[in-house]
Amino acid sequence: MSVITINQTEYPIPDDPRTTLLDFLHQHLSMFGTKKGCDHGQCGSCTVLVDGKRVNSCLVFAFQLEDCSVTTIEGISEEGALHPVQQAFIDNDAFQCGYCTPGQICSSVAVMSELARGEPSTLSFDQDYTRKEDLKERMSGNLCRCGAYPNILAAVEEVMEKEATS
Ligand code: FES
Ligand code: FES
């Protein structure tokens, strides 16, 4: 049987190959933490992690992820405690309506992994750029209609600083 692993649980791949990962989460698993905004790759609200890398779940079909490991916002906490990024979003007041927040948090977690792996952003080819500018660039695929961007960046920076000094 073909399976897809979501938050460490295996599920059968849906029969209909047109089922996107986002619709699979909502319609087959009643897992609604991942949000549908534009449904065509423009807003980032549906961001999840696939094998640790961020993916717009509205742009991939579930059947493409056979044997992959998907982490959604429901699976991002660690051993019952909030993930440090989740806590930092609360501490920094990094959301208002909260609709974009699951995607922002998944993206933030992946951005930190990208930086740890030394993966460049488009800004990396400029002469001078600040870490804040780089984070803005890396997070630019996640839109927030409430405009919580400064606090989102503050939350991500806070976690990175804590990790750098721990
Ligand atoms: S809902 Fe997927 S990018 Fe907007
Ligand atoms: S917090 Fe409302 S859309 Fe981002």
How far, in Å, from the CA of 149 to the mean position of ligand 2?
Answer: 9
Ligand nearest to the CA of 147: 2
Same domain, yes or no, for 45 and 108? no
Number of domains in the chain: 2
How far, in Å, from the CA of 145 to the mean position of ligand 2?
Answer: 5
Coil, helix or strand for 7? Answer: coil
12 lines ligand 2 (CB under 6 A): no
Q: What percent of the chain has pLDDT over 70?
A: 100
Same domain, yes or no, for 8 and 51? yes
Return d(Cα 52, Cα 3) in angstroms, integer. 18
For 37-49, the pLDDT digits (tens) are: 999 999 999 999 9
Structure-token match 């609604």, residue found: 32
How far, in Å, from the CA of 22 to the mean position of ligand 1?
Answer: 9
Cβ contacts of 61 within 8 Å, gap of 6 or more:
17, 18, 19, 20, 21
Return d(Cα 141, Cα 135) in angstroms, integer. 11
**In contact, 50 and 65? CB cutoff 8 Å:** yes
pTM across the whole model: 0.96
Domain that holds residue 95: 84-165
Q: Which CATH number does the domain housing residue 66 bear?
A: 3.10.20.30
Q: What percent of the chain has pLDDT over 90?
A: 92
Same domain, yes or no, for 68 and 13? yes
Same domain, yes or no, for 97 and 157? yes
Task: For ligand 1, atom 3, name the residue with the nearest CA.
Answer: 41
